[in-house]
Structures are given as C-alpha cells and as structure tokens.
A and B are shown apart, each in its own frame.
Chain A
Amino acid sequence: MQNALYVSLSKQVTLRREMDVIANNLANMDTNGFKANDVTFEEYLSSKARIAHPSPADQRVSYVRESGSTTDFSEGSLQQTGGTLDLAIRGEGFFVVETPQGDRYTRNGSFTTNEKGELVNMQGHRVRGQNGPIQFDQQDSNITFSREGTITAINGIQNQVIERAKLNIVRFNNENALVREGNGLYAAAGQTAQPVTEKTSVTQGSIEKSNVRPIIEMSRMMEVMRAYQSLSSMMTNTDDLRKTAINKLADTTS
C-alpha cells in the first residue's frame, strides 16, 4: 500500500526535474550557441522484503530515479548578423576561451575586441588562437576569417593584407562528459581537446542560434504536466483507499 505512494512520489520527483530542464531549454531558446539539455532516468529496484523460502518471494518494486543529463550537440540554425567578429562553427568543434579558471570551450561565436585590440567574447574572456591570444592592430580593417579559421586583415598604414592568427578550434571524444558552467561555457573535466577534422569550418558574419526546438519542448511540457497530474490523482486514490480501510476496519459500532 505504501509502495504505491512511494513509487508515485519517485516519479513525481523526476517529473519535476524534467520540468526544470524544459524550463531551462525554453528560457534559452534565444541564447546563441546554446545546446538543449535532457535528463535520463533509470529504474531502481527495491530490495526484497522476504526471500524465497519457503513461500514465494516478494515482487521487487521498481522506482524511478534520474541517472544523468545529456546534451544535444546538434548544430543550431545560423542567423546572419553581418558582424565582422560574429563567427559560427559548422560541424563539430568549440572555440577556446581563456577564463581565470583556465581554458573553457564554447559554441557562441559572438565576439568583439577589447581595449587592447584582442579578440574576446562578450564576457571579456580572450579567444585563443593557435599561438595564444588573437591580437588586432588599431589600423586593421576588413578583418576576414577563412573557413579554416585563418584571420587576415588589411592594415591601414601599409595597406596590405596581413595574416594575423589562426583560430584554435577543438573537438572532444565524448562531448557529453563536458561540464556545463553557464555563460555558454563548457569545462573539459579531464578530457583532452583534439584538433578538429576538415569537416569543421568557420562562417563569418553569422551566429549559431540555440538548437532548442520549442515545439518539442512544449509538447514534452504538456506530457510532464499531465503525467504529474495523473500521479497526483493516483496518490489521492491510494490515500482514499487507505482512509476507507481504516474507517471500515476500525468501525466498532456494529
């Protein structure tokens, strides 16, 4: 009897967790470079109250609990912005930015320069090139990123094309083991960054939007809500059952 309540409760806890994740996905449906999140659940079997001999064994009751969160690393749609320092990665790979906590990885290619002329992201973290930070000169104009990430600029004084640096774009063997840190940044968590293959390319003047599919999130939300409600009513019914049992069994008036 109690089990029915506890099983329902375990499911309700995971449904709430799922709702939190859906809410986070929908809140970030306009966040550049955001990757949709999902939680996975697993069955959890209770231990037996009674072992087989001599009577048949108890049924093991199964509960549910969360086992992990996975990230959908599929590519988001590209939005053309026309910004010189707006970059999008096509295919797998991450930009590398220097944070005070060490190197972090991001898909959000909305960059700018700082007061020293270094390429930085919107939080002011420097973007890594293959040989350290990417430095522009004050006279640089017509900054161009090739599809491989090579950066060239026309220098005003010499009026000639100068190669500035090359973007450092990396990939990971197990993207799902990256730890999300907020601000669109991921930490490597023990993995080593690998160089990307030729299939990865950089597009200038575009930004990768979030890959959250709002319609799917909305229908998942309805599903979660209805499941939660039906569990609630089941718990109420179980409670009623128990109440009736107590009333009937303890009825001493007759």
Chain B
Amino acid sequence: MRALYTAATGMVAQEMSVQIISNNIANMQTTAYKKQRAEFSDLMYQTLRRAGANSSNQGNRLPVGLDIGAGVKTTGTPRVMTQGNLLPTGKDLDVAIRGEGFFRILMPDGRTAYSRAGSFETDDQGRLVTPEGYLVDPSITFPQNSSNIQISQQGEVSVLLPGQSQNTVLGQIQLARFVNKVGLQSIGDNLYLETDASGTPQISNPGVDGMGNLLQNQLESSNVSAVTEISDLITAQRAYSMNAKVVSAADDMLQSTVQMLR
C-alpha cells in the first residue's frame, strides 16, 4: 500500500525539521549564528491518466489528469542570512559587521574561511586571532605595551604606543562578500568555506563597495527568534504525529483485508 511509504517520507521530513529547529535553538546564543530552515518539496507523481489525452475519437480531451504523489523530500537546508542584533560588550576586540560581508580567517591548513563572528583575541605574539586561535587575514600584530585599541567603521586598526600622543595605524581589516552567501559551506566554529555555489569572494575594505561597516565593542548575536522556532517545533511535531496516524490507518486497512481470509 503506497500510503504507508508516502506517510513514511512525511515522517522522515518532519524528523529532519525537528533536527534543524533543535540546532537553531541550541545556537540561540552563538555569536553571529545564522539560522537554518528545512526546505521541502513534493516527490515525483505517478500519472495514471494524463490531462489533455484524447477521451474519444471525436477529439474530446480529458480536462484533468490523474496524478498520485509519492510523498515529500528535503531539498535543502538553506541558512537565513539576515542581520542579527548587535550586542554591546565593551570589549575592545569585539567587532560586529553591520551590513554585508565576512571576516577572512586563515585556517591552519592554509585555506581561507569566512566568518561573521567578530569576537577576536590576541595570541602570544600579539596577533589578532579568533577564539580558536586562527589568524585573521590580513594579519594585524599588536606591539607590546600598546593601549587604546581603536577599530574604525572602515576597518582601520590603530593603537596608542607608549610615549606617543596620537594613535598609530597598525593595519586594515578587510571583508569578503559573495554573490550567493547562502551557498557557503558551514564547517562549525562559526566558519564558512567558499564553494562552487557561493561564487568567488569579492574583497574590499568595510564601508565601501556596498560592504558593511565595522562596529567596535559590539557583537552580532544570532538571528534565531525563539518564538518562531517554538511555533515551528509545534508544527513539525504535529505534522509528524499526523503522518504516523496515516501509517496506522493504512495498517488498519491492510489488517481488515487480511481478516477477510479466514
């Protein structure tokens, strides 16, 4: 009985939906986390009668066809790349991007990853790194005894060196943007990798060419909305149990068929 398998695809899809919602909720407090959503589409149809086929030799045509669907499948889990709220943290090396763009992070294996999480630190040599210790590209090194770190909206990093009255410019933070940022691959640690679908990065300074501005002492929070996630969770859960009911109803029908044979 096809209904059994059709309902099973529905249960699989809803299970996927619950997985994604729980991951979103788990990452509610993750810096610059972008929520995912499950995207479903209907599976193929078996056409038993095709609309427009001749129903008589006089040229009458069937106005409607007879198509029976085979269920649902998950097409993708795209990320919703909207801006998260900005949270003031008061920490000098916390930088949020307001608008388009990603920080460029140099991975230990030599690849470049992209991230919007701007909670940076310095390592033992004074270089600007992510909480995992990965270097920010282009590299910026803070000399010892430097104070009063300033990061401008355009990404210029400057510090006050001992014995000087004015800030010295140390370097420039650059941002990358993609024509299809939804196509980036997530690798965890708030990092994304370039893929064939994302297109090649376009690199430029913050605040120019449509790039976002940098805001120091702020962090971008995740764009997960608790209310939406919970109502999605309820929907998914109910949809799951309805599909389960179809399985048991189809099973009842089969059982009554079997009982005819005594």
Contact = CB atoms under 8 A, between A and B. Distances in A.
B41 A115 contact: no
A23 B71 contact: yes
Contacts of A17: 68
B253 A229 contact: yes
B67 A27 contact: no
Interface in A15-58: 15-17, 19-24, 26-32, 34, 37, 39-40
Interface string B41-76: 111110111111000000000111111111110011
B262 A26 contact: no
Interface stretch (B140-148, B152-160, B214-222, B234-242): B234-242
B40 A32 contact: yes
Contacts of A32: 39-41
Cβ-closest 6 pairs across A and B: A156-B210, A27-B10, A24-B69, A23-B6, A23-B3, A115-B199
Interface stretch (A90-98, A144-152, A192-200, A232-240): A232-240
Bin the interface of chain A by size.
35 or more
B210 A176 contact: no
Given A141-B100, A177-B51, A122 B66 contact: no
Given A115-B197, A116-B179, 11 more contacts: A21-B69, A23-B3, A23-B250, A24-B68, A138-B177, A179-B67, A180-B69, A225-B252, A232-B257, A233-B256, A239-B260
A133 interface: no
Interface in B79-94: 80, 82
Contact of A19 (B47, B209, B250): B250
Given A32-B39, A115-B180, A24 B70 contact: yes
Contact of A24 (B4, B64, B71): B71
A184 B42 contact: yes
11 contacts: A21-B68, A22-B3, A23-B6, A29-B10, A31-B42, A39-B66, A140-B210, A174-B63, A179-B50, A229-B256, A236-B259
Contact of B75 (A69, A140, A183): A183
With most chain B CB atoms within 10 A of its CB, the pick from A20, A156, A179 is: A20
> Could you tell me the dominant secondary structure of chain B's interface residues?
mixed
Contact of A138 (B69, B199, B245, B257): B199
Interface in A204-224: 214, 217-218, 221-222, 224
Given A70-B64, A115-B199, A179-B50, A26 B10 contact: yes
B51 A189 contact: yes
A132 interface: no
Contacts, number: 230
B49 A68 contact: yes
B26 interface: no
Contacts of B239: 26, 29-30, 214
A23 B260 contact: no
A181 interface: yes
A140 B211 CA distance: 10
B78 A113 contact: no
Contact of A28 (B40, B76, B82, B238): B40
B133 interface: no
Contact of A122 (B75, B100, B243): B75
A128 B146 CA distance: 56
Given A17-B68, A30-B17, A114-B183, A180 B2 contact: no
Contacts of B178: 138
Interface of A: 12, 15-17, 19-24, 26-32, 34, 37, 39-40, 66-70, 81-83, 108, 110, 112-117, 122-123, 136, 138-141, 154-157, 174, 176-184, 189-190, 214, 217-218, 221-222, 224-225, 228-229, 232-233, 235-236, 239
Contact of B41 (A26, A183, A225): A183
Contact of A30 (B14, B44, B64): B14
A68 B62 contact: yes
A117 B199 contact: yes
A30 B42 contact: no
A24 B179 contact: no
Given A28-B40, A157-B210, A179-B50, A19 B249 contact: yes
A37 B69 contact: yes
Contacts of B2: 16, 20, 23
B180 A23 contact: no
Contact of A177 (B1, B64, B78, B197): B64
Contact of A123 (B37, B75, B196): B75
A176 B260 contact: no
Nearest to B1: A16
A80 to B, nearest CB: 9
Nearest to A39: B66
B171 interface: no
